[in-house]
Amino acid sequence: MARTTGFLGALLSAVTTAALTAAVLATPPTASASTPSVVGSAPGSAAALPREIRGGVELTLVDGDLLRVWAAKRYRTVWAKRRDAATGAWGTRTVVLQRRHLFCGDVDARTANGAVAVIAKCDRYGYYEDQAPTASRAIWSADAVTWTSRQLEGEAYEEPGISPDGLKAVWPQHGGYLTRTPAGFAAHRLDAEGQEYTVTATISDAEQVSFMYGAAVSRRKCGLVVLTQTGDAAPVRQDVPLADACTDSSLANVDSTTAWFGDLSGPAGRAVISRPDDTAPWAVTEVAPSSAPGLVDHEHGLYRDFFTAPGVPLIAVAGGPGGVLQAQLYDPVAQSWGAPAVVLDPPGRCSWGDNWTADPMAVVAVRLRCSGRGLVLTTRDGVAWQVLRSGRHPVGLSPDARYVAVPGRTRTHVISPERGVVTLPGGVTGRCDVVVPDGPDGAVLLTAASRHRGWPTVLQHSSASGWTRLSRAGLPTPDVACRKATASTFDVPYRFAVLGRNGRGYAVRIVRTGDTWTARRSRW
């Protein structure tokens, strides 16, 4: 690994009793005070919502196949496409829904035992993202091949629920909900008195529906209300104590016995409401970690952010006394936070880098800017940390966010779940040069090679001696200087923006097809 010198050495020097070897920062023993009980990943990691894609979702079916269901960009068709788990090949797309004057802009879905329940969020004669849809369709399929649908009443846009056997499904709609059973579709009226914001519904193999929503349960208290009924029998009400139940937070079912509440974009902000089986009452079985006891607040310094990865506990990183950066580990069994430990003591002020990615990352890579310079903090367990210097260049992600390339001036680092940090000879120096990982121990550089006013023109691959030329990139070289490159990770596919003066520039992806690397340009 690279030697720790100069600016980076100053950053690490104040970490107490840390073992410092070749850019490795190990936190002091107090950092692992909660480690014995912190095993596994973040809370609720066994369950997951479908992966979001543009206009819809990607589901994992019971046989391991992937199914994508999405609304077309022009809103006129809902499509589906299946990927065979054995061959890895995608089939041709098929029409799920297409009707005259019907415009659908988004899709959500759930799957169980090979069956799929879908909501297509639609309006007639046009679709507007800032308006609640009033012509949405409930769609169901036993095999993800043949589809049936029915229009939902009023404003309907919440996700469906599906039973474990896949034979029953439920969709919230205005004034109640719609079910689909072997007998067909049926509407059910339900008085959700005092309902606030979002709702969700689950359904069991026995056709028992649990309809959940936030509401005032007394004059001064809000909670989660669960109305449970089978068929058109009188519903049984249960009030579940839940903080912030009346706020504009997300509420979604994960399966027939589990729902999430809060900020569903990550594990830190979501509470888990569940029950062991259909006969048991619902309860908050996991509090939102961001509201759990033990989390230390400081009035000043870098605001708190949360990080995790498969096999890594949930970590809260925030500024501490004297400008240091501290980390706390979450104990999902005790549902509380361990003591804070110093992971970085910079000589100047730090701010967050761009830590948002469309897909969850497979590694922890905390991006910072300290005294104007880029840094990446990484850890495999939340206890031992490494600090990598990235300078002004953006980090690069693999298409699945499994690997991260950190470009240094004289060395390039690749972070992976398999090997941790691998340091490669050869840095990134051109102001518009960018790098992406090639597996756990390789990288590909798009570089100007000190020519063409800094515009990248050549692809190079890492080797034992540095960078080795692959091919010309075939990218334009405008007649103005290239000023900088930035990474765009808010949606997939991940890409870079290469920017010059007067608005000149383009977006580019570094793509591997078989054994060949190419640079693919698009407008930005």
Residue whose token pair is 């960009």 = 73
Structure letter (DSSP) for residue 7: H
Q: How far apart are CA 32 and CA 53, in angstroms?
A: 38
Which two structure tokens, joined as six digits, stand for 465?
A: 């001696």
Q: How far apart are CA 220 and CA 134, in angstroms?
A: 34
Structure letter (DSSP) for residue 494: P
Report whether pLDDT(503) > 90: no
Each residue of 25-36: pLDDT tens digit? 333 333 333 333
The whole-chain average pLDDT of the chain stands at: 90
What confidence category does residue 524 fall into, taking pLDDT thresholds of 50, 70 and 90? low
In one-letter notation, the amino acid at residue 208 is Q
Q: What pTM was computed for the model?
A: 0.85
Residue of 300 and 286 predicted with greater confidence? 286
Predicted pLDDT at 450: 81
Report whether pLDDT(420) > 70: yes
Q: How far apart are CA 283 and CA 268, in angstroms?
A: 19
Please report the beta strands in 431-493, taking only residues with DSSP state E, as ranges in sequence order. Answer: 434-437, 443-447, 458-463, 466-472, 482-488
Which two structure tokens, joined as six digits, stand for 123?
A: 């309006």
Report whether pLDDT(39) > 70: no
Q: How far apart are CA 491 and CA 9, in angstroms?
A: 35
Q: How far apart are CA 195 and CA 215, in angstroms?
A: 5
In one-letter notation, the amino acid at residue 457 is T
Q: What domains lie within the chain, and their CATH numbers?
A: 51-208 (2.120.10.10)
Number of C-beta neighbours around residue 337 at 10 A: 22
Predicted pLDDT at 46: 59
Given a contact cutoff of 8 angstroms between Cβ atoms, the answer to whether 165 and 189 are in contact is no
Predicted pLDDT at 20: 31
Query: 365-374: long-range contacts at Cβ-Cβ below 8 A with a sequence spacing of 24 or more?
Result: 365/395, 365/404, 365/406, 365/415, 366/305, 366/307, 366/317, 367/395, 368/325, 368/344, 370/11, 370/344, 370/346, 371/7, 371/346, 371/347, 373/7
Predicted pLDDT at 34: 33
208-216 and 196-203 as β-strands: parallel, antiparallel, unpaired?
A: antiparallel
Predicted pLDDT at 449: 83
DSSP labels for 32-100? GTTGGG--SSSTTTTS-PPEEETTEEEEE-TTS-EEEEEE-TTSS-EEEEEE-TTT--B---EEEE--T
Each residue of 362-383: pLDDT tens digit? 999 999 999 888 999 999 999 9
If you average pLDDT over residues 277-287, what whole number do you get?
96
Coil/strand/helix, residue 322: helix
Given a contact cutoff of 8 angstroms between Cβ atoms, the answer to whether 107 and 139 are in contact is no
In one-letter notation, the amino acid at residue 310 is P
Sequence-ordered list of residues with C-beta below 8 angstroms from that of 115, at least 6 positions apart, any chain: 140, 141, 142, 143, 144, 162, 166, 167, 169
Each residue of 80-111: pLDDT tens digit? 999 999 999 999 999 999 999 999 999 999 99
Closest CA to 61 of 45, 41, 80: 80
Q: How far apart are CA 274 and CA 292, in angstroms?
A: 18
Report whether pLDDT(38) > 50: no
Residue 445, φ and ψ in degrees, nearest 5 = -110, 130
Report whether pLDDT(333) > 60: yes
